[in-house]
Structure 1
Amino acid sequence: MHKLSLDAEARLQLQRAKEASAGRSATTVYGGHEHTLRQTLLALTAGTVLAEHENPGEATVLVLGGRVRLTSGDTSWDGRTGDFLVVPPSRHALEALEDSTVLLTVAKEV
């Protein structure tokens, strides 16, 4: 069994994002390339965008802190602390509307 404080890890990753030139930081908290399920804690400073990209499988975003915007084509969904966003099965992007931390969960298609 493995235990991790997402609150503590979110604070650490947000601090790292603020120090990074790209304005973002991430760490895998569960799974990885060798697993079907992968959970990644992402921290983004305000205005940072994860450019449009393909979805590698089913995915969700749980907003741990801040506000983000998930876009796909002409559609967008705003999320704030506590919101759960289902990532569409198409190209999409994620923008931090303010300093934010999210838990990205992806189940890769096999």
Structure 2
Amino acid sequence: MSDAVGAKPKRQGSPFTSIIEMRLKVGSDEEYYKEKVAKAREFLAGGGKVKLRPTCEKRELDTGMLTQALLEHFIKELSDVSTVSESAPFGSRNLWIMLRPLPKDSDTAV
């Protein structure tokens, strides 16, 4: 009996989106950076979201501008497949950025 009193309606149209958290080491080499970009691009192509969180050593905590530049460069690298959906304000203690894939309709636009 699907019309029973108190029965919950089925949810439709709420697909589960997977999120992967990637930590970026500030001050690391270019090969490490390219590997992280490639993994993020692959995950975004599959429809998932990517949460970027930079990590710093204690001696690198004063390099706020370097951390901001790293995240902006990462966003620019992935701008063809993603956009920023939400982020923590720059200058906050826990800095992070969430990237989501671009809608499928934008691929066909000229």
Structure ID, larger Rg:
2
Q: TM-score, normalised on structure 2?
A: 0.35
1 or 2 for the larger relative contact order (CA 8 Å, sep ≥6)? 1
Q: TM-score, normalised on structure 1?
A: 0.35
